[in-house]
Amino acid sequence: MRLLYLGDVVGRSGRDVVIERLPEIRARLVPDFIVLNGENAAHGFGITPRICDDFFAAGVDVVTLGNHTWDQREIVAYIDGEPRLLRPTNYPAGTPGRGAGVFAAPRGRKVAVVQVMGRLFMDPLDCPFAALERELARVRLGPGGVDAVVLDIHAEASSEKMALAQVADGRVSLAVGSHSHIPTADGQVLPGGTAYQTDAGMCGDYDSVIGMKKDAAIFKFVRKIPGERLSPAEGPGTLCAVLVDTDDRTGLAVRVAPLRLGGRLAEIWP
């Protein structure tokens, strides 16, 4: 099976490059299942139902979120009725929505998607390690279970992302980091057969400070006083993603490679 994970979509530049390039990607790479992190898609803060529906219409199978899940008020009512939209599973019990699901893929196959959010330098949610164990106990990768498992690790610290991936090694097809908005160069298949990359990078304008307009971001660092609200940079976007091929028998990874298209970063096709 071929899996495609698209990193955090930031603002209109990110949305535009994803919608524009997905037809070409689908024709050229023929992914069986596409996961996209959309937590910054609505002007940098959260996602709206309309934007989410646009991603689904473009061929995305599942949209994950993160620490900006609730920034757009209308998503609270929408998320309960849309199983393809996932927020971190380690939010407290009773939080709207869900953090994992099993979804249909071509030729009768099934893909599980799980998202956890780290706690280092982020909101103090429930333990992501315990939440991950709970979700992985519900799905089994390989014969008699699901055909693939995608784990989105939404976290600030690379150490926490790597630790969660090592815990999941051999039980998920792909463990990939989101939130940092910078693509890392450590794509690899872990010893147990799980594809891993610390951060997929963002889909957005890289002439920025992690997707936000430079001047306002720099002002906050330099002056340490409230200033203009951060807003997404509006130049041409780069699409950053991770492509994984799995063994049809085991569901484990046999190949992981970056995909980068458009904007300022060097183009890379797997």
Q: Where are the beta strands (DSSP E) in 163-209?
A: 174-178, 188-189, 195-197
Q: Is position 68 annotated as part of the catalytic site?
A: yes
Cα separation, 270 vs 263, in Å, equals 18
Look at residue 115 and give its three-state secondary structure: strand
Residue 12 CB coordination number (10 Å): 19
The runs of H, that is alpha helices, within 42-179 are 49-57, 75-80, 128-136, 158-168
Residues whose CB falls within 8 Å of the CB of residue 118, separated by 6 or more in sequence, listed in order: 128, 153, 154, 155, 156, 157, 160, 161, 164, 179
CB neighbours (10 Å) of residue 173? 31
Phi, psi (rounded to 5 degrees) for 222: -80, -45
3-class secondary structure, 5: strand
User: Distance between CA atoms of 31 and 22, rounded to whole angstroms?
Assistant: 10
Name the β-bridge partners of 115.
152
Under DSSP, is residue 212 helix (H, G, I), strand (E, B) or coil? Answer: strand
Q: How many residues does the chain have?
A: 270
Calculated CA dihedral for residues 121, 126, 128, 130, nearest 10 degrees: 150
- Which entry of 68, 154, 179, 181 is annotated as an active-site residue? 68
Active-site positions? Answer: 68
